[in-house]
Amino acid sequence: MTHLPISADLIAEQNDKRLEAVEEDYAALSRKLTRNGINISDVRQKVSDFSVAVPSWGTGRGGTRFAKFPIPGEPTNIHEKLEDCAVINQLSQATPRVSPHFPWDKVQDYSALRRDAEALGLGFDAINSNTFQDQPGQSHSYANGSLASTDAATRAQAVAHNIECIEIGKKLGATDLTVWVGDGTNFPGQQDLGRSLDRYLDAAAEIYAALPDDWRMLLEHKMFEPAFYSSVISDWGSSILAAQTLGEKCKCLIDLGHHAPNVNIEQIVARLHRFDKLGGFHFNDSKYGDDDLDSGSINPHQLFLVFNELVEAERNPRGGFSPSYMIDQSHNVTDPIESMMSSADAIVTAYSKALLVDRDALHAAQETNDVMLAFQTLRDAYKTDVSPLLAAVRADKGGAIDMIATYRASQYRERKSQERAAVGLGAGIV
Ligand code: LRH
Ligand code: MN
Ligand code: MN
């Protein structure tokens, strides 16, 4: 039996105040779309079916290497994190899965955790492994790398951790393993750039060999940080070459903050899809680097263009199309629940707008090289206010028309601040 954290009566009461306005705006949007030959019910169904996973680690206040400012009522363990994820899903109706990170998430009994999640209306998404930090009591340090380490015993330890993550994932009902490594160098000459990739590929092949038939291994590239001169899997080129070397079940994952400045990420989406290697996304936004800012807070147009390629890819599936979508953000100055709901909204907004693109008109303009018409076709969709559609979908599914206002009215965080232990201050000035 599901047991959701926010009272359904409160959501209904909050929605009642806003329903009339949503219906008016929805009717106007429906008329506008009908004039453009779009049936709003078709779009509504797709929007209703769309979902994005939330990261277990994003439910706590993040921080920087300078400081972390916790808030009262933050989750202190995986069970409390799940409860917060259930709030995000209950109000947004768009985030029914949680992506865990091991060993950050400490679990005694995986079957019990799975039951807990089910009772909260949640499932599990990709398992994230962690060989970018040392853990207390660990035999071999990752100071000089993990899967690409020059030390065979360290590589073996990193492989064993990833295989353990697959075993955990089986118990939780997951089918994807996301592998991001911090391996790389800070100095020219520190490591041989070719041999370090060889070592990575050999170790990754051992993980790949342990994947069940219905699992995928998602390689997440990142240009820099923690390594500042070279990273072993630095870009989508290294990522797709590694994925092609490893095999069919290995795909590439795009984290929006992991690229060189000004890289055309939507083109990377199209390229990876062309070669059946598009495995998934970590959504966030970026001003300077891997900032992990809220999705759509800096560049919502880029998010729209990414979804434009995704909708195009879905309609032209080539080898298949089933990317795994996840939010990967650090919430340093906001309540993480509010940030995650607002980000889910930005992501679904970008997806909905991409669904509104008149694809026939776009393709015709592209074929005839009518540059302005092609651009305006995208622009028309981007300019459409889809918020009444999203609000209607949420209300239909039991979610909140105004997620933030309803969350605040529920006083969830205030209640948790009474119930939960205080979180420590964390990282200080370095
Ligand atoms: C690396 C990364 C990767 C990690 C997460 C915590 O920057 O994006 O996805 O697992 O952050
Ligand atoms: Mn990421
Ligand atoms: Mn990152």
Residue 425 clears pLDDT 90, i.e. is over it? no
Q: Which atom of ligand 1 is nearest to the CA of 130?
A: 10
Which residues make up the environment of ion ligand 3, defined by Cβ < 5 Å? 290
What is the structure's pLDDT at 98? Answer: 98
pLDDT at 430: 38
Question: What is the pLDDT at residue 423?
Answer: 85
Per-residue pLDDT for 177 more than 80?
A: yes
- Asked if 338 and 330 touch (Cβ cutoff 8 Å), the reply is no
Q: How many CB atoms lie within 10 A of CB 397?
A: 12
> ipTM score here?
0.99
pLDDT digits (tens, 9 = 90+) for 265-316: 999 999 999 999 999 999 999 999 999 999 999 999 999 999 999 999 999 9
Strand stretches in 221-270, DSSP E: 230-231, 250-255
Looking at CATH, the fold of the domain delimited by 8-419 is given as TIM Barrel (3.20.20)
pLDDT band at 2, cuts 50/70/90?
Answer: confident
Ligand 1 pocket test, candidate residues 146, 162, 328, most atoms within 8 A of CB: 328
Question: 124-157 pLDDT, tens per residue?
Answer: 999 999 999 999 999 999 999 999 999 999 999 9
Q: Is the Cβ–Cβ distance between 410 and 47 less than 8 Å?
A: no
Q: What is the pTM of this model?
A: 0.97
Torsion on CA atoms 84, 167, 292, 77, rounded to nearest 10: 30
Which ligand has the shortest distance to the CA of 58? 1
Q: pLDDT value at position 278?
A: 98
pLDDT number for residue 429: 44
**What is the distance in A from the centroid of ligand 2 to the CA of 75?**
21
With cut-offs at 50, 70 and 90, classify the pLDDT of residue 426.
low
User: Hey, which bits of 288-371 come out as E strands?
Assistant: 324-327
Average pLDDT, the chain: 97
Mean pLDDT of 236-248: 98
Mean pLDDT of 242-251: 98
Q: What is the pLDDT of residues 390-422, one digit of tens each?
A: 999 999 999 999 999 999 999 999 999 999 998
**Ligand 1 pocket, 259 CB below 6 A?**
no
